[in-house]
């Protein structure tokens, strides 16, 4: 087996780091946040059962609420993408609106693991960013389809360019995350623009 290149090792480490960041954000939001919420509720019950302790209990509840705010902020900061909070479709809608003249057609029903959904979003975001600064581009279209598998296409109307080279790092990260990534340099009909195709083949059957 050939030794992995430095680029492959770096891409693998980046994908692993994204996974760890997502896991840390999930623990903070789901586990730590839930425990703090329970503690706050118990303090409210304490106030009801022991009115004499209500002042001190209220102070403690206020402190817990402050901690919860910090936990929520830190959880959002650790998230590698906004997909966990809003879902892939809404995250892509927000991404398109941030750029401007971007249309999104989302018909996919494929169930994605959280890490895969994050990887798809990152690949689309990078491809969209590269397209938007390319010469002659005035509009970009994103389509996402598939039921068992998923295919995303990012197409622009700009002048032909070496998008494969521009997106080499994006392609490497996508492939190490288990995605297919292909750049088609021109639209077949117009001879202009670029189409980036990102694919997820779907879950393998158990034992396959």
Pairing of strands 180-184, 195-200: antiparallel
Q: Is residue 207 part of a domain?
A: no
Which residue, of 51, 78, 105, is where some domain finishes?
Answer: 78
Which residue, of 53, 78, 103, is where some domain finishes?
Answer: 78
Give the CATH number of the domain where residue 128 resides.
3.30.565.10
pLDDT value at position 17?
81
pTM: 0.77
In a structure prediction context, what are the per-residue pLDDT tens digits for the chain, which is 208 residues long? 567 788 878 777 887 887 787 787 777 777 777 888 888 888 888 788 878 777 887 788 888 888 888 887 887 777 778 898 889 999 999 999 998 889 999 999 999 999 999 999 999 999 999 998 888 899 999 999 999 999 999 999 888 788 878 899 999 999 999 999 999 877 666 667 899 999 999 764 444 3
Name, in order, each residue with C-beta under 8 angstroms of 92's C-beta and a sequence gap of 6 or more. 104, 106, 121, 124, 142, 144
Q: Does one domain contain both 151 and 181? A: yes
Q: Does one domain contain both 22 and 68? A: yes
Q: Is residue 182 part of a domain?
A: yes
- Three-state DSSP at 144 gives strand
Q: Is residue 101 part of a domain?
A: yes
DSSP 138-162: --EEEEEE-SSSEEEEEEE-S----
Q: Which residues pair with 144 in a beta bridge?
A: 106, 152
Q: Does one domain contain both 141 and 167? A: yes
| Burial profile 177-196: b = 16 or more Cβ within 10 angstroms, e = fewer | bebebebeeeeeeeeebbbb
Q: Is residue 28 part of a domain?
A: yes
Q: Does one domain contain both 88 and 175? A: yes
Contact 88, 116 (CB under 8 A): no
Distances (CA, A) of 160 to 63, 127, 128, 142: 58, 15, 15, 18
Q: Does one domain contain both 63 and 165? A: no
Q: Is residue 206 part of a domain?
A: no
Q: Does one domain contain both 72 and 91? A: no
Which residue, of 54, 78, 102, is where some domain finishes?
Answer: 78
Name, in order, each residue with C-beta under 8 angstroms of 22's C-beta and a sequence gap of 6 or more. 78, 79, 80, 84, 114, 115, 118
Tokens of 149: 């598998």
Q: Does one domain contain both 72 and 167? A: no
Tokens of 177: 């995350």
Q: Is residue 74 part of a domain?
A: yes
Q: Does one domain contain both 39 and 96? A: no
How far is CA 187 from its chain centroid? 28
Instruction: Give me the residue label for tokens 């106030």.
Output: 47
Q: Which residues pair with 184 in a beta bridge?
A: 195
Q: Is residue 48 part of a domain?
A: yes
Q: Which residues pair with 70 in a beta bridge?
A: none
Q: Does one domain contain both 60 and 89? A: no
Domain that holds residue 65: 6-78
pLDDT value at position 77?
74
Number of domains present in the structure of the chain:
2
Q: Is residue 188 part of a domain?
A: yes
Q: Does one domain contain both 64 and 148? A: no
- Dist. CA 104–CA 95, nearest whole Å: 10
Closest of 12, 76, 31 to residue 39, by C-alpha = 31
Q: Does one domain contain both 98 and 171? A: yes
Q: Does one domain contain both 60 and 98? A: no
Contact 199, 180 (CB under 8 A): yes
């Amino acid at each position: 087996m050939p030794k992995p290149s430095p680029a492959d090792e770096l891409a693998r480490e980046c994908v692993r780091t994204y996974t760890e960041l997502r896991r840390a954000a999930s623990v903070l939001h789901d586990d730590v946040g839930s425990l703090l919420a329970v503690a706050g509720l118990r303090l409210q019950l304490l106030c009801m059962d022991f009115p004499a302790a209500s002042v001190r209990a209220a102070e403690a509840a206020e402190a817990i609420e402050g901690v919860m705010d910090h936990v929520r902020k830190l959880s959002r900061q650790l998230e590698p993408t906004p997909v966990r909070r809003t879902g892939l479709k809404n995250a892509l809608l927000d991404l398109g609106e941030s750029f401007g003249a971007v249309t999104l057609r989302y018909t996919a029903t494929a169930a994605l693991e959280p890490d895969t959904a994050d990887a798809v979003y990152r690949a689309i975001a990078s491809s969209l960013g590269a397209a938007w600064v390319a010469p002659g581009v005035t509009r970009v279209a994103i389509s996402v389809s598939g039921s068992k598998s998923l295919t995303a296409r990012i197409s622009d109307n700009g002048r032909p360019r070496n998008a494969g080279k521009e997106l080499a790092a994006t392609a490497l990260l996508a492939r190490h995350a288990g995605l297919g990534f292909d750049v088609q340099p021109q639209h077949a009909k117009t001879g202009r623009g670029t189409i980036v195709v990102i694919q997820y083949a779907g879950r393998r059957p158990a034992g396959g």
